[in-house]
Amino acid sequence: MRILFVYREFLNDNLFVHTLVKELKKRNHEVDSSVDNFWDNNKKYDIVNIQWPEEIFKYIIEKIDVVKLKNRIEDLKKQKTGILYTRHNSSPHFRNDNVLKLYHLVEQSADGIIHMGKFSINEILETEPNIKSKNFLIPHHIYENTYNENISKEDARKKLNLPLEKFIILSFGRFRDNSELFMLLNAYLSLRIKDKYLLAPRMLNFSKKKSLLKNLIYSFINIFFKVYSINSNNYDEIIDNDLLPYYLAASDVVFIQRKKILNSGNLPLGFLFKKVVLGPNCGNVNEILFETGNPIFEPNDNESIVKALENSYKLYIENHGYDNYNYAIKNMGINFVVDKYEKAYLSVIAEIKLNK
């Protein structure tokens, strides 16, 4: 098959597409990852797999862009190209009317939609009752054989200058707004566990080039954080993929700090590194955490979050992270997942041929 992932892989740190492309190429498929190729009439594909719709227009969506995309999808369908959409989000993180229309267009126009959980399928059937796309359930894969998974906790903590004896809660990724920050801080400060330590490298979204006032604020915050064993020292910089496994190896549990979410890459990452993962009662995240016996919290209920953190500590003591790892290898492994991608692609191609 000739497959195009509509994604600027070379500009992104997210390994979701990269790992799929790598595995599909191993299976002798011709695979590209590009947005430019999406618009190029000279490039012919059997399957075009759209990821994040806003990525097609570099996240700046004008009214005319919705029309452009509609016309392009129609052209591809005339060429008998199968259009699939991987549903990473229920809706865009930063929304306006144009980007919402873009999402609606992609969901309505796709020949098939790939969902990472049953919740996503049920949600789209409810919000888009007239949708004609085929729905495929394919879990978020783990990035096995990508990172160094053999780093010891002691070595990781030494490299990151973290205390060796603390119970470390890792909250990864950029905090999208202050409500996520206060949700985590309130719960952490209410948590009565000896030797607790919060590692949230991107919790403070300051640039390194701060104004004098921000420098002063940052200094006061850092004093407060040191008193309460909180580490947030990476400003607004993305964690390099070479350094990322050290953060995971150093931690004891992974906290997903979202108040509303469909999927989270931090969940399979935590499972891959044998960690207990706790997250909000929403989306596919809740579904997977419930199935695997990991703590779930109500994001607007501090008591619920504290209880989930307490449960995560108990599960950490019981080595539940190893159960998560075994589940992930069986149900989220790259070979298992790519088998399902191939079947989805072939199903769409067969349907197109049938309707010629």
**Arithmetic mean of pLDDT over the chain:** 92
Separation CA 23–CA 18 (nearest Å): 9
**Contact between residue 229 and residue 198 where contact means Cβ atoms under 8 Å apart:** yes
Convert 153-169 into a string of H (helix), E (strand) and C (coil): HHHHHHHCCCCCCCEEE
Name the pLDDT band for 92 (thresholds 50, 70, 90). confident
CATH topology of domain 153-331: Rossmann fold (3.40.50)
Confidence of residue 341 (pLDDT cuts 50, 70, 90): very high
The answer to whether residue 54 scores a pLDDT higher than 80 is yes
Domain positions in the chain are 2-141+333-354, 153-331
Residue 229, Cβ density class (10 Å: 0-12 exposed, 13-18 middle, ≥19 buried): middle
Q: Kindly report, residue by residue over 253-276, the tens digit of the pLDDT.
A: 999 999 999 999 999 999 999 999
Confidence of residue 236 (pLDDT cuts 50, 70, 90): low
Q: Do domains 2-141+333-354 and 153-331 have the same CATH topology?
A: yes
Nearest to 139 by CA among 103, 93, 86, 91: 86
Q: Assess whether pLDDT exceeds 80 at residue 214.
A: no
Q: What is the pLDDT of residue 91?
A: 85
Residue among 282, 295, 21, 320 nearest 141 (CA): 21
Amino acid at 153: K
- Give kind and range of the element (H or E) at residue 301: none
CA distance 224 to 233: 13
Domain 2-141+333-354 fold is Rossmann fold (3.40.50)
Asked whether the beta carbons of 18 and 45 are under 8 A apart, the reply is no
CB of 52 within 8 A of CB of 23?
no
